Chain A
Amino acid sequence: MNGEGLDAKLQVRRGESFQLDLSLSIPPGRTVALLGPNAAGKSTTVAALAGLLPLDRGRIALAGVTLDDPEQDVFVVPEARKVGVVFQDYLLFPHLSVIDNVAFGLRSRGVSREESLARAGEWVDRLGLAGLATRKPANLSGGQAQRVALARALVTEPDLLLLDEPLSALDVTTRVELRRTVAEHLDTFSGPRLLITHDPSEAFLLADEIHVIESGVVTQAGSADDIRLRPHTPYVADLAGSNLVQGVASDGVVDTGSHHLHIADHTVSGPVLATIRPSAISVHLGEPAGSPRNSWKTEVSLIEHLGERVRLRTGAPLSLTVEITEDATRALDLREGAEMWISIKATEIGIEADSEGAKR
């Protein structure tokens, strides 16, 4: 346990069917992303850490102070926690000007009006909002509102910075631009930072470490490369754009139940996860020459045109996503229902032991 950063074990039941069960440990200066689909428990995590939702079980400690521990009957109310939150949709107070929004946290904590406005003014300047101090949030662009939200959270010098979908309210061009702003300010904040997002590129670019959350539990944690190259669940594979196949390996062959895949590694055995990048799969009209170990006849079950590239979904015996060029699709005259041969080099199939599968 480290006394400086965030150390949390969160267990919250919401309704009959949903249970959050999550452990997070973030040292100061490190950014962890919690990446997951809708309703995975991301908002519940924010609410629990901010003190808006008490834990059922577990413990939250921040900078050596216990904030929530049901067993010890400890609960620190949100207004007494030093947690800065940039909320989804920012939640800037619509009746207050930019400077009053930023000064709100200081005023609430008993800092005098003059000093609050002076310190808020510094943050407003620092985030390039100087000309906008007297504007109401309704008259700000999405990017400006995001910077105000960031300033409002940081001005109170919190011990933890929570960013809940900080870029999701923005259009695509602004998002790319603002990602840089967020990255810069994450670096200047010295405490632990938690980024909540459903956008993998946001997580990959901004976080040092990614925890993937699905249905209330972390299904995979690691660096961006771990997540991208070695996905453990279909959701993660989909995020990374890879195919994920579960099977049992023995003697260089993975039995998926419906098909046998030849792999390069002959030593691995037992339940495995095989990952195949869509671009590593080749498509042919007839049986490919040189007979690669993995080649079989199938049909096109779905075809999706993405400009220069085309995504195909293969039919039985193994449903895979294949990515080829538009030119190749035209040359091979591929359409839905058409027959084709596909081939995959054994060395292009990533293999990892499936610890979850072993338990099943």
Chain B
Amino acid sequence: MTTQGLGGRRRRRRPPAVLIILGVLGLAVFVVPFLGLLARTPWTDLPALLSGDVVADALRLSLVTSLAATAIAAVVGVPLAWLMARVEFPGRALVQGLVTLPLVLPPVVGGAALLFALGRRGLIGEPLNQATGLLLPFSTWGVVVANTFVAMPFLVITVEGALRNLDRRYEGAAATLGAGRWTVLRRVTLPMIRPSLIAGLVLTWARAFGEFGATITFAGNLQGRTQTLPLAVFVALESDRDVAVAISLVMVVVSLAVLVALRERWWKVL
């Protein structure tokens, strides 16, 4: 703070110029690609481009599979997060590593691993196929599995962190008031971590909605069955660039809308 003259106003100093320049450059890394996309967008043809069969099929499939993956993550991911946060078990550090692995692993590697595990001749896929006739690769369920694998870490990590930060004395207080463990979980624990839970679910959904590498490796690229929006973009880049741009724009708008909405209320809990 500097004081200028007698009774001078105290002014907040400007941040250093070097930091401003470098910071703006950093921002450009995020912004420039989207400017390119916007510049290339055929605005007048947009409705026609987006109403084709291929796009409609892909959008429907993307919504269904990403929501299914989010639901599965909620059902099995929250209990996993609870166990990781609350139970001391041998190899917990390893489990934490495994859970975060899909975040850093190239999705194509994840897809290949899924193929070896759940494919027609895979470790689990073969007995599963013989017993039930179910074949996950190249099916819509395969897309859901690939989405879940890649996106669930967001939910598990967010919820586990929230459970660790939760003041457990509240759960003790609920117990002294006669609440059993299920009641405590349902009426105290989950409501108290609600913001993190919602943030984790939304991030999981957003990640699943945009999933590409594991999906194309494990589930292939069949229109109406496994071709989600990102896969449709990939195909369209080769055949019809305008369609690719139009779909990309849709994905950017949807993802950005979700993340901005998150930032308003829940981003701070991450």
Interface residues of A (CB under 8 A from B): 47, 50-52, 77-81, 83-85, 87, 89, 91, 93-96, 104-105, 107-109, 152, 156
Contacts and interface: CB of A to CB of B under 8 A. Distances in A.
Given A81-B176, A104-B174, 15 more contacts: A77-B175, A78-B176, A79-B175, A87-B169, A93-B174, A93-B191, A95-B192, A96-B191, A104-B177, A104-B187, A107-B187, A108-B180, A108-B183, A156-B177, A156-B178
Contacts of A91: 167, 169-170, 173
A78 B170 contact: no
A146 B173 CA distance: 14
A188 to B, nearest CB: 20
A51 B176 contact: yes
A52 B194 contact: no
Contacts of A152: 177
Given A93-B188, A94-B192, A109 B178 contact: yes
Size band of the interface chain B makes with A: 10 to 19
B179 interface: yes
A104 B178 CA distance: 9
Interface of B: 167, 169-170, 172-180, 183, 187-188, 191-192, 194
Nearest to A84: B176
Contacts of B188: 93
A150 to B, nearest CB: 13
B166 to A, nearest CB: 11
Nearest to B190: A95
A77 B173 CA distance: 13
19 contacts: A50-B175, A51-B176, A78-B175, A79-B179, A80-B178, A85-B173, A87-B169, A91-B169, A91-B173, A93-B173, A93-B192, A95-B194, A104-B174, A104-B179, A104-B187, A105-B177, A108-B180, A108-B187, A152-B177
A257 B124 CA distance: 82
Contacts of A105: 177-178
A145 B176 CA distance: 18
A9 B230 CA distance: 67
Nearest to A100: B187
Contacts of B179: 79, 104, 108
A79 B172 CA distance: 9
Contacts of A87: 169, 173
Given A93-B188, A95-B192, A108 B173 contact: no
Contacts of A79: 175-180
